[in-house]
Amino acid sequence: MLKIRACSSIIHRYQSTSSSVSINHLTNDEIRAHRLRVFANERQTQIERIRRVEKIEVDVHDPIQSTKLLMNKNISTPYHCAQHLSSVLVERSCLALVDDQYIWDMNRPLERDCTLKFLHFMEHKCEEQNRAYWRTCSFIIGYILETAFKSNYHVELCSFPPPQFQFGSFAYDAKLNL
């Protein structure tokens, strides 16, 4: 599962690579640009590690019909599988259930032969879908906090506490340095 690190760890990494740069002189845009560069470099490194494309068999379980797909190991995602089947699955699916036990992001590459079931919000049991939705809302709040202030006001995103479903709320902890 992809874990997003708080801005503070990126700031510390950025400081350690350039000792002449002070945290007080970094703008939010510079921090965001650095974070995107780190992500892009890591993504490129992972893509380059794939020497040859191996195939995996994905058995898709759908209420209407079950289908077997031949996909690319560590490249193809549940989203790609949905694209092979129908535009309705692409539009309505928010998560995938892999091997009847693992909740999988629609854009996370599949790692081995597996069974796949697409999850959407109109199911009777949609706790995992709601949890993912609320977590995404927390990330959106973090992005809004990060971009809402002028560059000379440093916003440090600290953490995103688990959503409080019973209270109907989600949050993102941030520190604003004025």
Tokens of 116: 């796949």
Q: What is the pLDDT of residue 24?
A: 55
> Residues 106-123: what's their mean pLDDT?
94
69 or 52, higher pLDDT: 69
Beta bridge partners of 117: 61, 97
Least confident of 1-10, 101-110, 127-136, 161-170: 1-10
Confidence grade of residue 145 (pLDDT, cut at 50, 70, 90): confident
| Gap between the Cα atoms of 147 and 6, Å rounded | 15
| Gap between the Cα atoms of 149 and 8, Å rounded | 17
Q: What is the pLDDT of residue 150?
A: 82
| Gap between the Cα atoms of 104 and 173, Å rounded | 26
User: Model pTM?
Assistant: 0.69
117 or 138, higher pLDDT: 117
Alpha-carbon radius of gyration of the chain: 20
Angle CA(3)–CA(9)–CA(15) in degrees, nearest 5?
145
Share of the chain above pLDDT 70, in %: 85
Confidence grade of residue 165 (pLDDT, cut at 50, 70, 90): low
> Residues 14-40: what's their mean pLDDT?
70
Q: What is the pLDDT of residue 23?
A: 52
φ, ψ of residue 26 in degrees (nearest 5): -85, 130
Question: Is 97 in contact with 119 (CB distance < 8 Å)?
Answer: yes
| Gap between the Cα atoms of 86 and 42, Å rounded | 32
Question: Is 81 in contact with 116 (CB distance < 8 Å)?
Answer: yes
36 or 21, higher pLDDT: 36
149 or 169, higher pLDDT: 149
pLDDT digits (tens, 9 = 90+) for 154-163: 888 887 677 7
| Gap between the Cα atoms of 59 and 150, Å rounded | 50
Tokens of 99: 């091997």
